[in-house]
Amino acid sequence: MIATTGKVNLLGLTQPQLESFFESIGEKRFRAGQVMKWIHHFGVDDFDAMSNIGKALREKLKASSEIRGPEVVSEDISSDGTRKWVVRVASGSCVETVYIPQNGRGTLCVSSQAGCALDCSFCSTGKQGFNSDLTAAEIIGQVWIANKSFGSVPAKIDRAITNVVMMGMGEPLLNFDNVVAAMNLMMDDLGYGISKRKVTLSTSGVAPMIDRLGEVIDVSLALSLHAPNDELRNQLVPINKKYALAVVLGACRNYISRLGEKRVLTIEYTLLKGVNDQPEHAEQMIALLADIPCKINLIPFNPFPHSGYERPSNNAIRRFQDILHKAGHNVTVRTTRGEDIDAACGQLVGQVMDRTRRSERYIAVRELRADPAASAAGNRS
**Any contact of residue 296 with ligand SF4 (CB under 6 A)?**
no
**Any contact of residue 120 with ligand SF4 (CB under 6 A)?**
yes
**Any contact of residue 86 with ligand SF4 (CB under 6 A)?**
no
User: Under a CB-based contact definition with an 8 Å cutoff, are residues 145 and 97 in contact?
Assistant: yes
**Any contact of residue 116 with ligand SF4 (CB under 6 A)?**
yes
Selection from ligand SAH, ligand SF4, none that 96 binds (CB < 5 to 8 A by kind) is none
In whole angstroms, what is the distance from residue 17 CA to residue 94 CA? 27
How many residues are there in the chain? 381
Annotated binding residues for [4Fe-4S] cluster, written as ranges, equal 116, 120, 123
| Interaction mask 288-327, ligand SAH, x per CB under 6 A | -----------x-xx-------------------------
DSSP annotation string for 311-330 = PPPHHHHHHHHHHHHHTT-E
Q: Which residue lies nearer to ligand SAH by CB, 19 or 342?
A: 342
Residue 345, helix vs strand vs coil: coil
Give the CA angle between residues 218, 219, 222 to the nearest 5°: 125
Count Cβ atoms below 10 Å from residue 71 Cβ, excluding itself.
14
- What's the closest the beta carbon of residue 204 comes to ligand SF4, in angstroms? 4
Backbone torsions φ then ψ of 3, nearest 5 degrees: -65, 140
In whole angstroms, what is the distance from residue 92 CA to residue 131 CA? 9
- CA 111, 138, 210, 294: dihedral to nearest 10 degrees? -40
**Any contact of residue 323 with ligand SF4 (CB under 6 A)?**
no
To the query of whether residue 345 is one of the catalytic residues in this protein, the response is yes
**Any contact of residue 381 with ligand SAH (CB under 6 A)?**
yes
**Any contact of residue 111 with ligand SAH (CB under 6 A)?**
no
Backbone torsions φ then ψ of 266, nearest 5 degrees: -95, 130
Task: Return the bridge partners of 185, or none.
Answer: none
Which residue among 94, 109, 252, 345 is the active-site one? 345
**Any contact of residue 133 with ligand SF4 (CB under 6 A)?**
no
> Quick one: which segment of 67-75, 111-119, 212-220, 324-332 binds ligand SF4 (CB under 6 A)?
111-119
Greatest Cα pair distance in the chain: 69
Which residue among 96, 109, 138, 294 is the active-site one? 96
Task: Return the bridge partners of 270, or none.
Answer: 299
**Any contact of residue 167 with ligand SAH (CB under 6 A)?**
yes
To the query of whether residue 252 is one of the catalytic residues in this protein, the response is no
Count Cβ atoms below 10 Å from residue 1 Cβ, excluding itself.
10
Active site residues: 96, 345
Residue ranges that bind ligand SAH, judged by CB under 6 A: 120, 122-123, 167, 171, 202-204, 224, 268, 270, 299, 301-302, 345-346, 381
Residue ranges that bind ligand SF4, judged by CB under 6 A: 116, 118-120, 123, 125-126, 170-171, 204, 224
